[in-house]
Structure 1
Amino acid sequence: MRRGFICKKEILDKLKKIYDKIVEKEYNGNYLSAIQNFDTFAEATLRDNLLKFYKNQRSRDQAWKTCKGSLYEYAVFKVIEQIIIEDNELNSMFMVTMSDKDLYNYKDQVAIKNWTEIFPDADILIVEKNKNLVRVIISCKTSLRERLTETAFWKREIEKTKNEKILLIFMTTDKDDELKIDTNRYILLHVIDYTFITDRSKYTKLLESYKKKYGNREDFQKLISKVRFIADIKDFLHTL
């Protein structure tokens, strides 16, 4: 559910259209390939589109942080949507949604009820069609700061309050290498179900860092399997 400052709809719609054109022209319509370079062309090509909407540099920079985050959610959604549509088995089993209206339709499955309905950090849902059950909640962030602890909190609350098993998946570019921080490493390996990194170089460097510091631990191989590169997302969906 969306909270706080929201990217203006007209700006986000424009960014989505430009993104789709880039994917079609430069990546032959392959959203999985495109998202692996998201940070690069988002900063180089898409950011300047805010010039006509914000004349003030400070306002423009602040707006870009939110708009980029919303666009990243869209980019992740398009990857999963395309994979499901193009795979007959997955398409018969699952649907994916990210609209606020659709997310609200599943409030009974994802909301924490305590005096009021409190919604977790749910950007995208993967739903099992036959049972109309939410199987996966996806939280997307390009950069983390302290917000990964929020995702961890919701994972724990979902575990305590929901009868059905719902996986919580974290998607990120790991733009600022924040996953190397021990607090975040603990959350990835011991709290969140799976993490997918969409930048290959960041993924490779992160695993090298973890292996150097913790590779001799007995449970390392088991835990590190929870951190994956985005190219593995199709195989993961087939395990649901």
Structure 2
Amino acid sequence: MTIKDLIKIYETKKKKYGLQAYRHISNVLKEAKAQHKKDFTGNDHEQSWRAFKGKNLEKLIEYIITDEVRALGLQVVNGNILERTNGSNLSKELSLVKRNLIVDYGEFGSHLPDVDLIIYDLKTSKIVAVLSSKVTLRERIAQTGYWKIKLASDEATKHIKVYFVTPDEDGTLTIKTPTKKGRAIVEVDTDGSYVLSETDIEESDKVKMFDKFIDDLKKLLK
């Protein structure tokens, strides 16, 4: 089981559901898990699957959005590429992107925020938005809120939008009130969350279904 296999499963959903395919990401992951288990030869399949799912959900989201992002004159890069690649081995374009995302910790150095995907202007390398993605909010949402606060505290990075993309499998974002802690963090400490779920959610200015993402991205460019 690889990301290519995951994309194949997604493409079958896309043929069936069209523009609503994003709602079926959890089913894509369920089917992938069954195949992953068939291929697995070790002792702890659940641990192996969790690692695979965490790493490849972000790659699947990258695959889903890349064409439409590029059509806007923007580009997407995986955060791991910037984190793990020495600056001297990056292209000038990506080296500038990396510099434009750095968080300054004074005497403790400069560090990249933990984000999964970075969307930037192809001509200027100016960062428009960063995305974090996890199957549920509890795994990452407080950290995402922290990075929003850090980026907003510096003149050079305060314009960067910080979003969370999730299938929200535990239903944290489904209703506005009573508000669960994860949704409260999204509403107050991030620029918003986009949900890949079959379940309709009570939307707000900051919590929306995933099909609103590209339109919101377009608004940032005006």
Change (3 A) 1:31 1:157: farther
Looking at structure 2, the residues matched to 36 and 101 of structure 1 have their Cα atoms a distance apart, in angstroms, of 28
| Equivalent AA in structure 2 for residue 232 of structure 1 | K
> Bigger CA drift: 32-41 or 119-128?
32-41
- 1:84-163 alignment runs, 5 A limit: 84-85=69-70, 87=71, 90=72, 93-98=73-78, 100-102=80-82, 105=95, 106-114=97-105, 115-145=108-138, 147-163=140-156
Matches within 5 A, 1:1-240: 14-28=1-15, 33-56=20-43, 59-85=44-70, 87=71, 90=72, 93-98=73-78, 100-102=80-82, 105=95, 106-114=97-105, 115-145=108-138, 147-164=140-157, 165-179=159-173, 182-201=180-199, 204=200, 206-207=201-202, 224-240=204-220
Contact 1:23 1:29 in 2 (8 A): no
1:147 and 1:20 map into 2 onto residues whose CA distance is: 24
- Given that residues 137 and 182 in structure 2 are in contact (C-alpha distance below 8 angstroms), is that contact kept between their aligned partners in structure 1? no
Q: Deviations over 1:20-63 (max 9, x none)?
A: 2223344239996433211113113444324444431xx21012
Paired position in structure 1 for 2:88: none
Matched-pair contact (CA < 8 Å) for 2:135–2:166:
yes
Tell whether the 8 Å contact from 1:169 to 1:193 is kept in structure 2 after alignment: yes
Q: Percent identity?
A: 22
Asked if 2 retains the 8 angstrom alpha-carbon contact of 1:31 and 1:78, the reply is no
Letter in 1 for 2:148: K
TM-score, normalising length from structure 1?
Answer: 0.74
Distance 2:79 2:19 in 1: 20
Distance 1:122 1:176 in 2: 21
Match of 1:221 in 2: none
Decide whether aligned partners of structure 1 residues 40 and 29 sit closer, same or farther in structure 2, where only a CA change above 3 A counts.
Answer: closer
* SS of corresponding position for 1:225: coil
Q: Aligned-pair distance for 1:144?
A: 2.5
Q: Please, what is the CA RMSD of the aligned residues?
A: 2.5
Unaligned residue ranges in structure 1 (runs of 5+): 1-13, 209-223
Residue deviations 1:178-212, cap 9 Å, x none? 336532222111111121001131xx2x418xxxx
1:49-100 deviation per Cα after TM superposition (whole angstroms, max 9, x unaligned):
24444431xx210121121122210121112102234x4xx1xx21111162
Is the contact between residue 139 and residue 169 of structure 1 (CA under 8 Å) also seen in structure 2? yes
* Gap runs ≥5 in structure 2: 86-94
